[in-house]
Structure 1
Amino acid sequence: MTQALLREIIDYANRANPYPLYEELRKTPVSHDGDGPYVVSTYYDIHSLLHDPRISSDAKNLKATGDDLLGDQSDEEGTTLPPSFLKLDPPDHDRLRRMTNRPFGPPHAPHRVHDMRDELGGLVSGLIDGIVETGQMDRIDLVDQFAYPFPVSVICRLLGIPREDEPRFHVWAETLAASLDPDPDADPTQRGKGSMDARMELGMYLAGLIEERRKNPGDDMLSQLATADGPDGAMTTMEALSTSALLLIAGHETTVNLITNGMLTLLRHPEALERLRNDPDLAIPIVEELLRYEPPVQLLPQRTTLSDVEVAGVTIPKGASVWLMLASGNRDPKRFENPDRFDPDRKDIQHLGLGSGIHSCFGAPLARQEAQLALSELARRLENPRLLEDPPQYRQNSVLRGPRHLPIACDGIRP
């Protein structure tokens, strides 16, 4: 039963609306067929495991038993890029995350994200103005024309990566993001080679930039990662490579989905869109409710138990594969009243949309600010926006779920 439900959730045919499947999954909070992963689908159990030191993010701890019918989705070893801190456990995880945070956020760089607000606003305005310049209000692809180029420009500016290099790293980023998708029908040999090639090419590209920054450092994060030497010492070249690759890919992939899922949801709820148009401050609770209602990361399929762990009366043995179904937990009626209703006025939105525990989303403050600015300006400037396709075409990825295209039309665009 569990494997059948997982395959349905992963099946692209259900990408537009996996939530009824999550509802079915929650009937057994911890489910296991005996030949697949242990699947945890309820809010409190997921939240507890995200904070449990007995749950590992390092794929090397998974028993090599072949018990996961959907395949071992771990990255290849021996490539140019070692695992990022996202796939490490303490103390290595903690050391690298501290080092990465020094140039990004409190306490050492408390104003970095806040001080980008005017620049972010300028990027948003410029992209919307670019839509005006096309003169094609009858068909706008909100992904290609707005939701993708905005966070890509932001992460390039933050890291110090030339924006004109986007066509180069776009293919690598998409390939590596696709490798997270536990697709049982994918050719593992072809996928493995594609992922390895992308990692190698991205690693070589970033290595050149890091070497250049060590010679001529600037005020960007890549320079600081390459040259900083704080209480935890300095990053090795390989650590700087894996960290910058993580920031580059995660820094835009999830935010694209957050903005696109957000606008899709608002267009399906025109009363909320109208409220946001008249009250830009409503963007703050709207984004939090969106992170619960339509999270950009749906599930975490790469966790492993370091010892036997009992959850909801089920003992998960040491070395077992554990899947944490974040989007299911966000719709758990035992945690949220009327969980399938989009409600920007919800008072208690302690969602799992950005994870929790030591692996909570590193770039959460920036992602929130980007989404708030993007959605409030789209609401303010687009006149009578409407969906042209519902549901739209979704990306293949079941982990990073979001529309691949979002065709809309509007009657005009305000200054």
Structure 2
Amino acid sequence: MTQSLLHQILDYANRADPYPLYEELRKTPVHHDEGGPYVIGTYYEIRSLLHDPRISSDASNLASTAGDPLAESSQGDSALPPSFLRLDPPEHDRLRRMTNRPFGPPHSPHRVDGMRPELHEIVTGLIDGIGDTDRIDLVEAVSYPFPVTVICRLLGVPREDEARFHSWADTIAASLDPDPDADPAERGKVAHDARMQLGMYLAGLIEERRKNPGDDMLSELATAKGPDGAMTTMELLSTAALLLIAGHETTVNLVTNGMLTLLRHPDVLRRLRAEPQLAVPLVEELLRYEPPVQLVPQRTTLADIEVHGVTIPKGASLWLVLASGNRDPKRFENPDRFDPDRRDNQHLGLGSGIHSCFGAPLARLEAQTALAELARRLENPRLLEDPPPYRQNAVLRGPRHLPIACDGIRP
């Protein structure tokens, strides 16, 4: 029996290169297998739906989960309340405003930009620590420890606790993967347990910060009493868990996908070494060309919505394939070409609308810093495996390991 197009997209066998499948997806503006979710892969339709108030992010609005593997695996998980990412206005807006006060403009305009020297110092230390240059796993050496160290410092989570929350974060991130072959009940239980453990760990940190606040985000969130009042303990726990996990999971992929792309385009790698300022537009093109978040599943229609003459009924499960929209030739010229000089690059790599990536300014700066330094310091870097081994996850797509070699490390 032939696999449906959606199941082919989710099939790990196609993880290394899903883009031909996305091209097939775009031929049908609204793809729908009976009993499954409605899947959208074209740029303008995705962008419009991301801004449509008739689209809900709240899983409780999903009328039916039949045929939707992600929805099946995520129901009944009550270890922590939903983060603001999984809420609709006005609750989403309130919690996002409160979280943003210690993070970005207008209340904390220099929080991210002020981290530039610290980011450079962390990357430099990681590259200095690379030992044998005959075989380097870039994920283990730089791509993973870099954003983990950054988010720990930003939140005020002890870096030495990474070994404790690593497995919980991995499990929770894996639960986002709509793997049709997984046992939804078993995966739901594992994810619930991981959330429970992470929640208990964060509860201890929050209690400590309330008693002895520092200058970190967790302290500010735990003690703040702004115009929206204070977060409840449970709201604070779910927000802290979101920031801790999302604050490094996507950036690991962005840096790893970035270095993989550069090693496949040595001319661009040489340019970046000579022109470090190229890192800014280069990261934008990476977010279009190889986005760390490939698709947004588990959205729900709050009313009947017509897309290209197809009526998506109220209560339907809706999936938006951002990575497909980013390669839509109706929006981007030569979309399968990696071009850091691309103009008008309004990609969907960080989402759009009210749920656009909260940590986008930090993720951009981390990727710019890491890729510019790697390009400058690694002498004659080259891939040892192409394609490298990928993570199972179809949503957070990126190499699990990136084995490379180089001739040495420049000072």
Same fold per superposition (TM over 0.5): yes
Partner secondary structure for residue 315 of structure 1: strand
Q: Which residue of 2 aligns with 1:192?
A: 188
Task: Spell out, residue by residue over 1:29-71, the C-alpha distance to the aligned partner (whole angstroms, 9 max, x if none).
Answer: 111123111111100000000000000000110113x432535
Task: Spell out, residue by residue over 1:218-247, the C-alpha distance to the aligned partner (whole angstroms, 9 max, x if none).
Answer: 100001111100000000000000000000
Residues 76, 196 of structure 1: alpha-carbon distance in 2 compared, 3 angstrom cutoff: farther
Q: How does 1:3-402 map to 2 (within 5 A)?
A: 4-64=4-64, 66-70=65-69, 72-73=71-72, 75-77=74-76, 79-131=78-130, 134=131, 136-402=132-398
Partner secondary structure for residue 300 of structure 2: strand
CA distance in 1, matches of 2:409, 2:324: 37
Task: Spell out, residue by residue over 1:326-346, the C-alpha distance to the aligned partner (whole angstroms, 9 max, x if none).
Answer: 000000000000000000110
Provide the aligned C-alpha RMSD in A: 1.2
Task: Spell out, residue by residue over 1:279-312, the C-alpha distance to the aligned partner (whole angstroms, 9 max, x if none).
Answer: 0000001000000000000001110000011111
Counterpart residue type for residue 52 of structure 2: D
Deviation (angstroms), 1:78: 5.9
Counterpart residue type for residue 5 of structure 2: L
CA distance in 2, matches of 1:69, 1:321: 7
Counterpart residue type for residue 48 of structure 1: S
Task: Spell out, residue by residue over 1:88-127, the C-alpha distance to the aligned partner (whole angstroms, 9 max, x if none).
Answer: 0000000000000000000000000000000000000000
CA distance in 1, matches of 2:211, 2:164: 23
Please report the TM-score for the alignment, with normalisation by the length of structure 1: 0.97
Partner secondary structure for residue 323 of structure 1: strand
Which has the higher mean CA deviation after the structures are superposed, 185-194 or 117-126?
A: 185-194
- % identity of equivalent residues: 80
Does the aligned pair in 2 maintain the 1:257–1:402 contact within 8 Å?
yes
Does the aligned pair in 2 maintain the 1:206–1:245 contact within 8 Å?
yes
Q: Which residue of 2 aligns with 1:413?
A: 409
- Structure 1 residue runs of 4+, over 4 Å off? none
Task: Spell out, residue by residue over 1:189-245, the C-alpha distance to the aligned partner (whole angstroms, 9 max, x if none).
Answer: 210110010000000000000001011111000011111000000000000000000
CA distance in 1, matches of 2:136, 2:361: 28
CA distance in 1, matches of 2:166, 2:298: 24
Residues 62, 243 of structure 1: alpha-carbon distance in 2 compared, 3 angstrom cutoff: same
Aligned residue pairs, count: 411
Does the aligned pair in 1 maintain the 2:112–2:362 contact within 8 Å?
yes
CA distance in 1, matches of 2:261, 2:68: 34
The answer for unaligned runs of 5 or more in structure 2 is none
CA distance in 2, matches of 1:166, 1:73: 30
Deviation (angstroms), 1:2: 11
CA distance in 1, matches of 2:315, 2:3: 19
